[in-house]
A and B are shown apart, each in its own frame.
Chain A
Amino acid sequence: MTFKPKVGLISCSGEACSGGNISRAATLEVLHHLRPNETVTICLPLFLAGDDAERDFAKHFPTITIDGCNKLCAAKGTARYSSEPAVKMNLEDYAGNYCRSDDERRRIQGSSKLVGKIAQDIASHVDRLRD
C-alpha cells in the first residue's frame, strides 16, 4: 500500500473583496464535501503569526493556493513564509476582477456556479497531486 500525503489548501481570506469570499467558499466546499479525507487547511495569516510548526505546512503537504484577486496574497504569503505552492489558482483567471463594491462582497449566492467550478478544479488538482 502506497502512502499518499494529504494536499494542503490555502485560501486568501479576502475580507474586503468578494473574490476572497468566493475563493474561501470554493476551498471550504472541497475541504468539507468534495475531498474531506484528502485535504487539510490552515489559516493563511498563521504563517506569520504562528510558529515553525505552522510555517512547515507547505513543506509537509503539497499545497494549492486559491486567491481571490491578482494581489495573490495566498500564493505570495505561502511562498514567503512556508514553501513554494505546488499549484497557484487565481479567481481572476475565471472571472476577471471580482472585487466589487462593498455592499456586494458578501453576496456570493449568485456566484454558486463559479464557486462550484473552482471547487471542482481544486479537487482535480488534489487528485493529480496525489497520483
Chain B
Amino acid sequence: MKKVVIPCSGIGKAFGAVAREATYLLADAEYSDTFRTICLPLLMTDDEESKQIVLESDVYTIDGCPKKCASVLVRHAGGNPVMEIMTPKVLANNKEHKPETVLDIGDGGRHLADDIMRIILNHGGIE
C-alpha cells in the first residue's frame, strides 16, 4: 500500500502552491513507487474510494494556513494523519526559502517544497 500525501488546495496563497509542489515531488517524481496523492475535495463529497484510501494508508498532510483544510478533511473522512506539516512553520526554520506568489512560487518556494519533501522522507516515508 502506498503512502498518501495530501496538500491543501491553497488557491489563494503561495504556501498552498508550495504544499502542492511538495506533494508532486513525492508522488510524481523519484518516490512515486512509495507515495501517491488523491484529490482533497473528494473527501468533502464523501467519495467512498477516497475515504477507503485514507482509512487504509499512512497519510501525510501539508497545509498552507492555520485553517488546516487537508488535516481537517482527512479527519472528516475518519482518517488520522501520521504527520501534519504546516508550510509556514517549515519556512520558519529556513527563512531564506520564502515563496514568491501563488502564480510562481519562485526559487525560494521550490526550495521550501524540497524541505517539506525531505521532512516527509525522513519521517519514514522511505524504508
* Highest count of chain A CB atoms <10 Å: which of B24, B41, B44, B45: B41
What are the interface flags for B12-49 relative to A under an 8 Å C-beta threshold, 1 for contact and 0 otherwise? 10001000100110011000100011111111110100
CB <8 Å contact, B39 and A45: no
Cβ of A58 within 8 Å of any chain B Cβ, yes or no, is: no
Question: Which residue of chain B has its CB nearest to the CB of A24?
Answer: B11
Which of A6-14, A85-93, A113-121, A123-131 makes up part of the contact surface? A6-14
Q: Which of A15, A47, A102 contacts B39 (CB 8 A)?
A: A15
CB <8 Å contact, A32 and B12: no
- Tally of A interface residues using CB under 8 Å: 33
The chain A residues found within 8 Å of chain B, CB to CB, are: 11-17, 20, 24, 27-28, 32, 41-50, 71, 73-74, 76-77, 80-81, 102-103, 105-106
| Pairs A–B under 8 Å by Cβ, sample size 8 | A15-B7, A16-B36, A20-B39, A24-B11, A44-B9, A45-B40, A45-B41, A49-B72
Beyond contacts A13-B39, A41-B11, A47-B44: 15 other A-B pairs, Cβ-Cβ < 8 A, are A11-B11, A12-B9, A13-B8, A13-B10, A15-B7, A15-B40, A24-B11, A28-B103, A45-B9, A45-B41, A45-B44, A45-B73, A46-B67, A49-B68, A102-B36
